């Protein structure tokens, strides 16, 4: 909930309390009903959404591995033992790097452009602002970014792979696996948007399930010029939680309409009561004159 929405809610609630607490014509029961409605609106609008969104690039960390739900590592083949990268460094002064120091020429690896501008600091690679990439190993090792489900629920997945090498042009094989079962497989041949391959799906996960994003050295079986960009967004909803949680502004608007209608009804009731009271006073003060026969 935004700060603006919170203050709107606070002002609404304060106004309600001040206005009807001074109204001596309103019964205790009526005041209690209004308080209940206002409290419901405030509580519903303030209730946070249980959904979570994970993005592989914006969540990147050069400090932690594991990094929340994310892991950076490699395997010798698809579905074989996953090994965490244990070393950090720089591919260039502005490109962050995770790698395994026991592997030939620091490949496979994961890289991230930590700048807010396109980055051409590497002679053969162009990284877009904040972009994440990965590269297979010299002997065909797969570079893998793994997501581990923090809890059971439903998820939606949007994935895009693309070539980053603009000199030799990227030639890689890319894959998405759920608990080592293949969901998607394709080849990246080229550079930039024209080389991109995308995959979108929805499904369910249990706590601890893994979704792997892997890159290998392609059909030419050489690791040269194989930098591959990866864009992943995973949206999750815990089991038993509705996906259709209304926004606070929607709750505020609908709740405000309901409260306005209730207050309007109370005003009309009070006006009728006041009119009846005036009629009774008039009848007592000015009784009807007797008719002359």
> What pLDDT is recorded for position 50?
73
Look up the domain containing 178 and give its range: 55-238
Residue 222: pLDDT band (50, 70, 90) is very high
Number of structural domains in the chain: 1
Residue 243 lies inside a defined structural domain of this protein: no
- Domain for residue 95, yes or no? yes
Token pair, residue 153, equals 């629920």
* Number of Cα atoms under 13 Å in the Cβ half of residue 143: 30
Tens of pLDDT, residues 40-93: 655 555 444 578 999 999 999 999 999 999 999 999 999 999 999 999 999 999
**33 in any annotated domain:** no
Q: Which two tokens stand for residue 108?
A: 């496979």
User: How far apart, in whole angstroms, are the C-alpha atoms of residue 201 and residue 284?
Assistant: 78
150 within 8 A of 69, measured Cβ to Cβ: yes
| pLDDT averaged over every residue in the chain | 83
Closest CA to 176 of 191, 151, 193, 198: 198
How far apart are the C-alpha atoms of 68 and 226, rounded to whole Å? 27
Tens digit of each residue's pLDDT (9 = 90 or more) over 223-278: 999 999 999 999 999 987 765 545 555 545 555 566 566 666 766 776 776 677 66
- Dump pLDDT digits (tens) for 126-153: 999 999 999 999 999 999 999 999 999 9
Q: Which position has the higher pLDDT, 194 or 42?
A: 194
Residue 248 in domain: no
Does the pLDDT value for residue 117 go beyond 50?
yes
In a domain, 251, yes or no: no
Query: Which pair of tokens denotes residue 278?
Result: 């005036």
Question: Does a structural domain hold residue 269?
Answer: no
> Is residue 273 one of the residues assigned to a domain?
no
pLDDT score of 189:
98
Closest CA to 149 of 82, 235, 232: 235
- Assess if residue 143 is contained within a domain: yes
- With a pLDDT cut of 90, the percent of the chain lying above it is 62
Q: Are 71 and 65 contacting, i.e. CB atoms less than 8 angstroms apart?
A: yes
Indicate if the pLDDT at residue 32 is higher than 80. Answer: no
Q: Which pLDDT score, from 0 to 100, does residue 293 have?
A: 42
Give 127's DSSP letter. Answer: B
CATH number, domain with residue 67:
2.60.120
Count of Cβ atoms closer than 10 Å to residue 244 Cβ = 5
Residue 239 pLDDT: 86
Token pair, residue 145, equals 């970014």
Q: What is the mean predicted confidence (pLDDT) over 6-14? A: 52
Once rounded to an integer, what is the mean pLDDT over residues 110-121?
94
């Amino acid at each position: 909930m935004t700060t603006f929405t919170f203050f709107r809610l606070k002002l609404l609630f304060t106004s309600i309390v001040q206005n009807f607490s001074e109204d001596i014509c309103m019964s205790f029961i009526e005041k209690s009903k209004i308080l209940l409605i206002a409290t419901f609106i405030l509580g519903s609008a303030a209730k946070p959404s249980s959904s979570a969104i994970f993005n592989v690039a914006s969540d990147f960390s050069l400090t932690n591995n594991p990094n929340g739900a994310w892991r950076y590592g490699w395997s010798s083949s698809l579905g074989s033992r996953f090994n965490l990268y244990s070393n950090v460094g720089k591919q260039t002064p502005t490109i962050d790097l995770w790698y395994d120091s026991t592997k030939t020429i620091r490949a496979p690896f994961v890289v991230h452009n930590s700048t807010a501008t396109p980055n051409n600091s590497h002679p053969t690679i162009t990284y877009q602002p904040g972009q994440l990439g990965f590269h297979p190993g010299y002997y065909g090792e797969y570079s893998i970014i793994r997501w581990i489900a923090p809890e059971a629920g439903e998820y939606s997945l949007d994935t895009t792979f693309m070539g980053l090498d603009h000199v030799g042009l990227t030639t890689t094989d890319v894959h998405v696996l759920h608990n080592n079962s293949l969901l998607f497989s394709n080849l990246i041949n080229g550079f930039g948007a024209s080389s991109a391959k995308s995959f979108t799906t929805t499904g369910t996960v249990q706590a601890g399930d893994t979704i792997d994003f892997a890159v290998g050295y392609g059909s030419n079986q050489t690791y040269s010029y194989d930098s591959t960009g990866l864009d992943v967004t995973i949206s999750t909803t815990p089991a038993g939680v509705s996906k259709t949680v209304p926004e606070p502004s929607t709750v505020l608007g609908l709740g405000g309409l309901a409260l306005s209608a209730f207050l309007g009804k109370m005003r009309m009731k009070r006006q009728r009561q006041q009119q009846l009271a005036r009629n009774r006073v008039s009848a007592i003060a000015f009784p009807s004159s007797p008719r002359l026969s």
